[in-house]
Amino acid sequence: MENRRNFIKATTALSAGLFVPSVQSNAQPVNDATKLKVRTLGTGTNKLEVSSIGLGCMGMSYHRSFIPDKKYMVSLIQKALDMGVTFFDTAEAYGPYRNEELVGEALGGRRKDIVLCTKFGFNIQDGKLAGTNSDPKHVRQVVEQSLKRLKTDYIDLLYQHRVDPKVPIEDVAGTVKDLIKEGKVKHFGMSEANAETIRKAHAVQPLTALQSEYSLMTRQPEQDVIKTCQELGIGFVPYSPLSRGFLSGYVTEHTKYNPANDNRPTLPRYQADAIKANWVMIDTLKTFGDQRGLSAAQVALAWLLAQKPWIVPIPGTTKLAHLQENLWAMDYQFTPDELSQLTADLNKITIVGDRYSGQSAQQVNK
């Protein structure tokens, strides 16, 4: 009973944007009976078992308006592990560097309990991203630096963050293949690659996962890459499965962003007029969820999980209450009629606004 009261106290505080360090420091790992459901990415020798929902750590230090106190985010990441999350995602580009340092500090002492993912693929100059770079020599340098920041001697899943048009994908896949042979990397992944590029890379070093944006607001992967992943036995990891917070219902036309550390002010989909036009999506999710005790975010995540058994979303958060909310989504099982009707209702909605603009738009699905 005391543990339950502490959890409710912590959840209430986190929902209000506060934190209760004493509660976090007493958190105990879950026992075998309460571990989260798991899913498998990849096939054969390239398969990787992970919790059915992972944790995207980017927003804890990058691109989400405010940067929380690091010690609280360390505690939140550790709490996620205690709650059964085993799949943690970061990248050198997030910060840059700060997010890998955060994840390394939080999880370095429990390395054997987790699946750790990071990414390479950018030039970083004066603390800013300066175009793509997947030159083999650069990839090796990035991996060595990431290993130090993550406080580990191997990376479970290494993604190419964005396809580099200057470097043949076969050379990139070959470099990762060598890193796998050396034991510094366990599995290969790509992000925002198209079907043709996936096939070329997979022929050199089989991919375990493709990570790309996929949510009820961004369903383009259904047209080709998800089909390619199914054919080749590659897992699919949706990032921004809640569309950068929009599908939670907390982002409105009145939301204020900090342009110094948030990419949403530059994205067409998060302009006030687009948010108002797209609010029909929230209404649809809420109507379904209200009858079943689910939040809009939970319906959105449960829908993604229902699409394929090898889809593993990685929603991010800075709040314990939202972490628990997201994880509970995996417990909901649609009936065939429910899923069919909800999908039909969602298919009627036309999304207003592109997901990216400028250089970011040019770097996706290459």
What are residue 311's DSSP bridge partners?
Answer: 236
- Continuous segment of H or E residues that includes residue 89: strand 87-89
Burial 118-147 (b: 16+ CB within 10 A, else e): bbbbbebeeeebeebbbbeebbbebbeebb
Q: How many CA atoms lie within 13 A of 363 on its CB side?
A: 21
- CA–CA distance, 243 with 362 (Å, rounded to integer): 19
- Continuous segment of H or E residues that includes residue 301: helix 296-307
Tally Cβ neighbours within 10 Å of residue 183: 9
Reduced to 3 states, what is the DSSP secondary structure of residue 239? strand
* E-strand stretches of 177-257: 185-191, 207-213, 235-239
Q: Is the separation of the CB atoms in 145 and 92 below 8 Å?
A: yes
- CA–CA distance, 150 with 107 (Å, rounded to integer): 8
Q: Is the separation of the CB atoms in 65 and 270 below 8 Å?
A: no
> Residue 244 CA to chain centroid, in angstroms?
10
What are residue 171's DSSP bridge partners?
Answer: none
Q: What angle do CA 281, 321, 296 make, to 5 degrees?
A: 15
- CA–CA distance, 278 with 307 (Å, rounded to integer): 22
Active site residue 94: yes
Q: Is the separation of the CB atoms in 324 and 83 below 8 Å?
A: yes
Q: Which residues contact 328 (CB under 8 A, 6 or more apart)?
A: 298
62, 72, 94, 159: the active-site residue: 94
DSSP conformational letter for 314? -
Tell me which residue of 69, 68, 117 sits closest to 92, measured CA to CA: 117
Q: What angle do CA 298, 188, 82 make, to 5 degrees?
A: 45
Residue numbers annotated as active site:
94
